[in-house]
Amino acid sequence: MADYLNFIDGQWTGASSGEKREHFNPAKPNESIGFTAVSTVADAERAIEAAKKAAPGWKAMSSVNRGELLRKAADLLEERADDIAKTATLEMGKRFVETKGEALRGASILRYYAQEGYRTKGEVLPSASDGTTLLAVRVPVGVVAAITPWNFPIAIPIWKIAPALVFGNTVVWKPGQETGITAAKVAEVFKDAGFPKGVLNLVLGRGSVMGDILSTHKDVAAVTFTGSNAVGQHIAKLATANGKKYQLELGGKNPAVVLEDANLDLAARLVVDGAMKQTGQRCTATSRVYVEAGVYDTFVEKVIENVKNITVGDGLQEGITMGPVASKKQFDTVTGYIQKGKDEGAELLYGGGTLNIDGGYYIEPTVFGHATHDMTIVKEEIFGPVVALMKVADYNEALERANDTMYGLSAAVFTDSLEKAFHFMENSEVGMVQINGETGGAEPQAPFGGTKASGQGPKEQGQAAVEFFTTNKTITINPFTK
């Protein structure tokens, strides 16, 4: 099997320790798909040094030319979408149609930020002094560490890397270890697009080893992280103690509210899509649903009808609508939550079991009903194909319950009432609100991120990205020399 290596200072290189990790297909756990380097702190330090060395030249390049390189990368990513998507499916189980869509989304993100190279980088401000010109310009922060998860191994890294690069920063990228092969193929896109050496560096390895050095090294100016709350808070402490900017996108426990005046067919279909797409392994997945009492039974029937149409299997096969979870660890975590739901008295309406298909990590799409707000499956992020339905008296109770959580990433309401839709928009305590839509999804031009424990620091994507990847510099020009 092939070896996939670190990419440091324009060169592919193995880990200084010589250690490798073997990757297996979660749909067929005995099928090896390749090896990746397992980096050490010394490898991370070399990557940071390369990024620091490349920073002055990259910053000096016109932002228009930096954007042109992103556009070339977009073209290459689109050309290689099938290969990269297949690799991601083999590494973490998500269906090929989903990973292909993710790769194409990555190309769209690159094209969006390529155009950022043409935008203004600041503004001219009025000065109180006659004849004085006052400027506020945006400048890059320096070396950025991007620490990304396994569940979206193409799109999430790109929506961090693309704005970092176009705004003039250099990057050290540490991807989720589970999807290191996919990461290497994405890094190769940037290499082949002609980015100067040292501008983007890839280090593969354990987060427990790499996270600390990337969050504390004196030459790293900013850390952008997507992942678990526990790791995110650890990174925040390290970054704060070492005077670094940080950006955290963390977990979610995303609610959907279904009111009596809703289109129940639409609501049921989108709740199921929101809960089960990507096998529920996304931070924006629909996880808990509050349904007005008058339509609860009818809504449950429609949800079950939709769930019965899900076909579980290898994500590379035609006609499959849900793949395996990403790993044995994830399999054990999700099945553990399902058992807690049963033990705590939730009504198992559908699924709840596992499927023996080629020894893969398959879990049935699972629907619980008559859950209560204090149950574990309602309070904690599961990151699997599990959704809990709850009956509420009215909209006010639904909103109160939806907001009663440590998380604040995404929420949806299904209603034909313009008044309630606008009230939900104003009062839902999340970073992203969907009206008659599923909780997942965001477009490249729109800010992405949550509130409460779901996110800290400036939002990602769209124009919001400039807040994190640049800093303001104020310049006063006085033409009088005497």
3-state SS assignment for residue 26: coil
Does residue 85 belong to any structural domain of this protein?
A: yes
Q: What angle do CA 189, 103, 66 make, to 5 degrees?
A: 45
Q: Are residues 178 and 143 in the same domain?
A: yes
> Catalytic residues, which ones?
249
Q: Are residues 162 and 271 in the same domain?
A: no
CA 351 to chain centre: 27
Q: What is the chain's alpha carbon radius of gyration, rounded to the nearest angstrom?
A: 23
C-alpha torsion angle, residues 182, 326, 14, 147 (rounded to 10): 80
Nearest Cα neighbor of 94 from 284, 321, 254, 271 is 321
Q: Are residues 398 and 459 in the same domain?
A: no
Q: Are residues 173 and 65 in the same domain?
A: yes
**CA–CA dist 80, 13 (Å, integer):** 22
Does residue 88 belong to any structural domain of this protein?
A: yes
Alpha-helical runs (H) found in 283-440: 296-308, 328-343, 376-379, 395-403, 418-427
Judge whether 91 and 153 are in contact, CB under 8 Å.
yes
Does residue 481 belong to any structural domain of this protein?
A: no
Strands (E), 49-166: 122-125, 133-140, 143-147
Judge whether 303 and 389 are in contact, CB under 8 Å.
yes
Q: Are residues 231 and 340 in the same domain?
A: no
Q: Are residues 111 and 212 in the same domain?
A: yes
Does residue 67 belong to any structural domain of this protein?
A: yes
Q: Are residues 185 and 225 in the same domain?
A: yes
Q: Are residues 404 and 464 in the same domain?
A: no
Q: What angle do CA 334, 340, 346 make, to 5 degrees?
A: 110
Beta partners for residue 13, in sequence order? 6
Signed CA dihedral, 376, 379, 381, 387: sign only? positive
The count of domains in the chain is 2
Distance, first Cα to last Cα, the chain: 72
Nearest Cα neighbor of 247 from 179, 170, 160, 166 is 160
Contacts for 3 with CB less than 8 Å, ≥ 6 apart: 14, 20, 34, 35, 36, 37
CATH number at residue 126: 3.40.605.10
Q: How long, in residues, is the chain?
A: 482
Judge whether 286 and 440 are in contact, CB under 8 Å.
yes
Does residue 470 belong to any structural domain of this protein?
A: yes
Q: Are residues 122 and 173 in the same domain?
A: yes
Q: Are residues 295 and 391 in the same domain?
A: yes
Nearest Cα neighbor of 437 from 267, 263, 280, 259 is 267
Does residue 441 belong to any structural domain of this protein?
A: no
Nearest Cα neighbor of 457 from 228, 198, 245 is 245
**CA–CA dist 404, 456 (Å, integer):** 19
Per-residue pLDDT of the chain (482 residues; tens, 9 = 90+): 578 899 999 999 999 999 999 999 999 999 999 999 999 999 999 999 999 999 999 999 999 999 999 999 999 999 999 999 999 999 999 999 999 999 999 999 999 999 999 997 889 999 998 889 999 999 999 999 999 999 999 999 999 999 999 999 999 999 999 999 999 999 999 999 999 999 999 999 999 999 999 999 999 999 999 999 999 999 999 999 999 999 999 999 999 999 999 999 999 999 999 999 999 999 999 999 999 999 999 999 999 999 999 999 999 999 999 999 999 999 999 999 999 999 999 999 999 999 999 999 999 999 999 999 999 999 999 999 999 999 999 999 999 999 999 999 999 999 999 999 999 999 999 999 999 999 987 889 999 999 999 999 999 999 999 999 999 999 999 987 66
Max CA pair span of the chain:
85
Q: Are residues 75 and 123 in the same domain?
A: yes
Does residue 465 belong to any structural domain of this protein?
A: yes
* pLDDT at position 130: 87
Domain that residue 74 falls in: 3-250+454-476
Signed CA dihedral, 407, 422, 286, 83: sign only? negative
* pLDDT at position 481: 65
Does residue 447 belong to any structural domain of this protein?
A: no
Alpha-helical runs (H) found in 390-457: 395-403, 418-427
**CA–CA dist 406, 250 (Å, integer):** 11
Q: Are residues 384 and 469 in the same domain?
A: no
Name the helix (H) or strand (E) containing 200.
strand 200-202
Judge whether 334 and 275 are in contact, CB under 8 Å.
no
CATH number at residue 286: 3.40.309.10
* Token duo for residue 357: 């298909």
**CA–CA dist 101, 170 (Å, integer):** 27
Name the helix (H) or strand (E) containing 115.
helix 96-116
Predicted TM-score of the model (pTM): 0.96
User: Which phi-psi region, left, alpha or beta, contains residue 172 (left: φ > 0; alpha: ψ -120 to 50)?
Assistant: beta
**CA–CA dist 123, 165 (Å, integer):** 21
Nearest Cα neighbor of 91 from 161, 143, 168, 21 is 21
Nearest Cα neighbor of 279 from 319, 337, 324, 315 is 324
